[in-house]
Structure 1
């Protein structure tokens, strides 16, 4: 039995999304459609231990949605956990990109694996 999931995100930058997926070593294909402003990103690789999970980021309503088809509820739970990790890294990458654009430097950051938080320090000297 198939379980279709559609997860709305606040992801809007195609390049940052692609860079984030590369950081997780996820192989993907970019699919351009004339009717959409931005391309879909189809995940090609098997996501860690899931064998029957198909996933795609598709552009809808000014942001990307993650649409996934899984064969089990375990795959669906894994997808939700995985998506939150990708979203956190996407947010981190967006902050770095926008901070550098505004003249800040990223001097330090640390990840707390116990609770999943990331501490980031940006500095700007006049």
Structure 2
């Protein structure tokens, strides 16, 4: 991957380590859903999924309904849908390559070719080019 591609015009790098899909109280809002609006408000944003959050970018990952005491809860957030919305809105999505490899997975397991694996060494070079780097 050519280094001149990354980072491009994005002002902010948002790092997601635990993309908690939300509980009953937060069923309509999670970090990926929020990132679409942050991208708009901050003048461009890239997202890095690392740690357990890399699973948000896997092909075939589903958010199924929960059965709570006999009651079906089927209104929880859909991280796959939110990830696609991020990509469609121009957010570049990266996954930490080492974390993907630790799970025995590779680029072919990612939901979309637009989701790109990057190494820790690449990221260390990119951080100073962003106006802001933050954990979401």
Give the TM-score, by structure 2 length: 0.24
Please identify which structure carries the higher strand content. 1
Please identify which structure carries the higher helix content. 2
More relative contact order, 1 or 2 (CA 8 Å, 6+ apart): 2
